[in-house]
Amino acid sequence: MSLFTFDDMKKIKRDKLGADVPLELFRSVRLIGMYQGLPMKGKNTTITVGREIGKSMPVQSIEDALHIFEELKIGIPRIVKKTENEMHIAIEDCFCDGLPIIEGNMVCDLEGAILEGAISTIYEGNISIREVKCNVNGDEHCEYIIRIS
Residues in the site for Zn ion, rule: CB under 5 A? 94, 96, 108, 134, 142
Q: How far apart are CA 93 and CA 142, in angstroms?
A: 9
CB of 54 to Zn ion, least distance (A): 16
CB of 116 to Zn ion, least distance (A): 15
- Give 89 or 96: the residue with its C-beta nearer to Zn ion: 96
What is the spatial order of strands in the sheet that 127-133 belongs to? 76-82, 86-92, 142-148, 127-133
- Give 114 or 142: the residue with its C-beta nearer to Zn ion: 142
- Give 62 or 142: the residue with its C-beta nearer to Zn ion: 142
Question: What are the residue ranges of helices labelled H in the chain?
Answer: 6-9, 23-27, 43-55, 62-71, 109-120
CB of 91 to Zn ion, least distance (A): 6
